[in-house]
Structure formats: C-alpha cells, structure tokens
Amino acid sequence: MIVYTFLEACKAKLDEIVDFKTNKIGLELGINSKDTPYARTMPLSHKPNSNNTDLRFQVLFGLDIKNKDYEELHKEQSILEDLIIEKIQETGALWLETVYDEDSVRSFKSAIVIFEIEGICV
C-alpha cells in the first residue's frame, strides 16, 4: 500500500498542473485525443532499503498532435516536462531521466519522465 499511497501523492502534485485534461495512476487501454493532454503515473520497481523501501516510477505524458505545428508541440512538451519534474521533485523524488517517443506514436507526442525516491517509510 505504501507504493500506491506515494503514487497518489504524485498524482495530487500533477493535479496542480492545470494543463492536463486527464491524470491517472496506471495506464489504461484506449487513450485517445479526448484524454489529451494526459499524465499517467506508474511504478517501475520497488525494493527494500534497510527499514525503508525505494521506489522507481515513471510519469508518461502525451499531447495530441492533430492540427498542431510540430515545433510548437516540442515547445509544449518541453514546458510540461519541466512542470512535471518540478512538481514531482516536491515529493522528495529524484529525477533520473526523460525518454522521448522519437515520434513513433502517430496520434500523440509523448514522453516518459523517470524518477526514484529512496527511503519511503514502511
């Protein structure tokens, strides 16, 4: 339950970013343009650390590319990435890296921001 409770805290931080139309824990099938811009927070790994626990997690976010200038999309993506990093770091998590989609998804401009938090009390 400690993992889910922490992810709920991250979701609450992302709710402070007014740009997101949908913000959820976990990734459901069938995300479409009605969901964008979206954020999805998901655990990657969870391991023991002394009397505490470490968690690595990701925030997947995406923008609809329909009827948008591609340079403007990159700018919008960069702004959202910065806001995500800023808000999630307020939880004490460390930003590790951002992985971009290399424009492989035709419907969305998406990226995954990866974080780690050490020593969550059990």
| Three-state SS letters, 18-65 | CCCCEEEECCCCCCCHHHCCEEEEEEEEEEEECCEEEEEEEEEEEEEC
pLDDT for 81 equals 95
Judge whether 95 and 73 are in contact, CB under 8 Å.
no
What is the pLDDT confidence band of residue 63, given thresholds at 50, 70 and 90?
A: confident
The pTM of this model reads 0.89
Per the listing, tokens 């709920």 go with 8
Q: What is the CATH architecture of 2-121?
A: 2-Layer Sandwich (3.30)
Q: Whole-angstrom Cα distance, residue 37 to residue 68?
A: 13
Q: Whole-angstrom Cα distance, residue 30 to residue 4?
A: 23
What is the pLDDT confidence band of residue 109, given thresholds at 50, 70 and 90?
A: confident
- What percent of the chain lies above the pLDDT cut of 70? 92
Is residue 52's pLDDT more than 80?
no
Which stretches within 1-122 are classed as H helix?
Answer: 2-15, 70-89
Digit-coded pLDDT (tens) for 74-89: 898 999 999 999 999 9
Is residue 14's pLDDT more than 70?
yes
Digit-coded pLDDT (tens) for 89-106: 999 999 999 998 766 556
Q: List the beta bridge partners of residue 6.
A: none
Q: Whole-angstrom Cα distance, residue 19 to residue 4?
A: 24
